[in-house]
Amino acid sequence: MAEYREIQGAAVQSLASSTGTIEGQIWYDNVNNVFKLESFRAAGAWASSGTMNTGRNQVSGLGTLTAGLAAGTQSPEPNQVLTEEYDGSTWSVGGNLNDGRADLNTFGVQTAGIAAAGDDFPNPARATTAAEEYNGSAWTSINPTVGGSYEGGSAAAMGTQTSGLIVGGRNSSAVTYTNATQEYDGTSFSSGTNYPSITQGSMLFGESLTTAISAGGDSPGGILTGAFSYDGSTWTSINAPTDSRYVGVGSGTSTVGLIFGGAGGSPDSRTQTETFDGTCFAADTNMANPRANLAGGKVSGTSTWAAGGPAGATENYAGAGPETVTISSS
């Protein structure tokens, strides 16, 4: 029988950690004293994780898998102001919002996050222009948005603390939609080029407001099926997602993106996940739990989280790529 050296052209290496580069490579983990195999995930995978301290609906999120943030809720005061921080497995209570509301437009990272506009729940509901910045422990009020918007929340916003974007939303009564685009430069919000459709809940992702992708959404005429890219001045039609929906979450960059969850109607919450490679969307592994108006990490297209709902359940996502599998003990 041929030996491993003859098949692979090299002996089994003794390493302290995975190189993550050679599919099919067997190596000896000299720290844990086990043999391991470099494998490859053909699709992403969702896995159950820690539960939020306060389960809630219409919560918005931002950040990464290991440094996430969820803020606001549909619930009555004082729950509207609640913020929780996520480390990839456990939720902890963060600083309260100054202005309690739901469906916040959120973007950025845990130590430099933005929560703008949202629904402050008078009767009937209306949009607020309030905006706040999070520094990792506390929220501080900043310059307001150009116009109020809600019903879309973390879905309808993307970017960084110095280059953010908000698209559409409802801007007064529950039946008033907008196609307004709002840009954020780190200090002030200003009007950008109007979105091609009147919409709420379009799923946005990208590195900055000049490399933004927006997919899906809801309009007075029904759920939108298209997708667009934005270069800071022009919206351009691109290939559409495989599943039409709104109020999900978009995460990642303009070349390695992700959309997940959302609704295909009311109350048709979705589990669908799709990847984006800079040109096309493709179906990926579904979440275990259907979710709409959810919170999620927005920075990476290969690792993120999803949370929300009365039970506060959380799922973590790992995209397709290399992984290390233990095959035997020494």
DSSP helix/strand/coil, 173: coil
- Rounded average pLDDT over 214-239: 96
Confidence of residue 4 (pLDDT cuts 50, 70, 90): very low
pLDDT digits (tens, 9 = 90+) for 174-223: 568 899 999 999 999 999 999 999 999 999 999 999 999 999 999 988 99
Domains and CATH numbers, the chain: 4-41 (no CATH), 45-318 (2.120.10.80)
Name the percent of the chain lying above pLDDT 70. Answer: 86
Q: Please spell the DSSP secondary structure of 17-51, one letter per residue.
A: S-----TT-EEEETTTTEEEEEEEESS-EEEE-PP
Q: Return the closest-CA partner of residue 178 out of 162, 155, 196.
A: 196
163-167 and 157-160 strand pairing? antiparallel
d(C-alpha 22, C-alpha 10), whole Å = 12
Least confident range from 149-163, 184-198, 296-310: namely 149-163
- Taking alpha carbons only, the member of 1, 16, 24, 33 closest to residue 329 is 33
pLDDT at 37 over 60: yes
Mean pLDDT rounded to a whole number for the chain: 88
Q: How many CB atoms lie within 10 A of CB 121?
A: 20
Confidence of residue 284 (pLDDT cuts 50, 70, 90): very high
290, pLDDT greater than 60 = yes
- Mean pLDDT, to the nearest integer, of 117-124? 78
120 φψ region: left (φ > 0), alpha (ψ -120 to 50), beta (else)? alpha
- Range with the poorest average pLDDT among 3-12, 167-176, 320-329: 3-12
Mean pLDDT score, 283-291: 95
pLDDT of 10 > 70? The answer is no
- What's the rounded mean pLDDT across residues 242-261? 95
* Residues 78-84, mean pLDDT to the nearest whole number: 89
Q: Residues 182, 195: contact at Cβ < 8 Å?
A: no
Quote the pLDDT of residue 185. Answer: 98
Task: Give which of 67, 64, 12 is closest to 37, Cα–Cα.
Answer: 12
Position 261 pLDDT exceeds 60: yes
Nearest to 152 by CA among 58, 67, 81, 224: 58
Residue 239: name the closest of 268, 220, 259 by CA. 259
Q: Per-residue pLDDT for 82 more than 60?
A: yes
pLDDT over 80 (residue 25): no
Question: pLDDT at residue 322 above 90?
Answer: no
Higher pLDDT, 35 or 124: 35
pLDDT of 111 > 80? The answer is: yes
pLDDT for 229 beyond 70: yes
Question: What is the mean pLDDT of the segment spanning 113-122?
Answer: 89
* pLDDT of 258 strictly over 70: yes
- Which pLDDT value is given to residue 170? 86
**How confident is the model over 106-126, as a mean pLDDT?**
87
pLDDT at 158 over 50: yes
- pLDDT, residue 143, reads 98
Cα distances (Å, whole numbers) of residue 247 to 7, 8, 9, 141: 51, 48, 51, 25
